[in-house]
């Protein structure tokens, strides 16, 4: 049986205004992100949109920053509130990983505050040595 949504990497299908609204107003990690910054993020990334098959309406989004050789960062995974609880987030993550599979990357990282179960369900786990990871946060 086919799902009621489809996932696409076609950048022409993305509703950038909708993605910006979702992330800048409802995603704890991107609250207040400017439209210009979001547009630059989209332009420099592999983007996935999730769409209602019947209406074409965009229901979700995920972004991957990658060199397509050794590394990828999965981020900005978002599902519209009305579409949550139907497996769309998991489908987006699986589709992103499928897009990356041909590259044979050494690692795919992500950060989450509240969706550990979702990501563990597709194979992510905490880093073996988190003490090796560092971050630079501008003051």
Q: In order of start, what are the domains of the chain with their CATH numbers? A: 5-127 (3.40.630.30)
Residues whose CB is less than 8 angstroms from the CB of residue 131 and which lie 6 or more positions away in sequence, other chains included: none
pLDDT digits (tens, 9 = 90+) for 64-84: 999 999 999 999 999 999 999
pLDDT digits (tens, 9 = 90+) for 5-46: 999 999 999 999 999 999 999 999 999 999 999 999 999 999
């Amino acid at each position: 049986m086919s799902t009621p949504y489809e996932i696409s990497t076609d950048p022409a299908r993305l509703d950038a205004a909708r993605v910006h609204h979702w992330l800048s107003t409802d995603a704890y990690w991107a609250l207040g992100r400017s439209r210009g910054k979001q547009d630059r993020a989209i332009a420099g990334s592999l983007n996935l949109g999730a769409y209602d098959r019947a209406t074409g309406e965009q229901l979700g989004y995920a972004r991957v920053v990658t060199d397509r050789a050794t590394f990828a960062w999965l981020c900005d995974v978002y599902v519209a509130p009305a579409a949550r609880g139907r497996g769309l987030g998991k489908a987006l993550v699986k589709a992103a990983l499928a897009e990356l599979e041909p590259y044979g990357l050494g690692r795919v990282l992500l950060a989450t505050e509240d969706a550990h179960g979702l990501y563990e369900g597709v194979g992510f786990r905490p880093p073996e040595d988190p003490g090796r990871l560092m971050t630079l946060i501008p003051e």
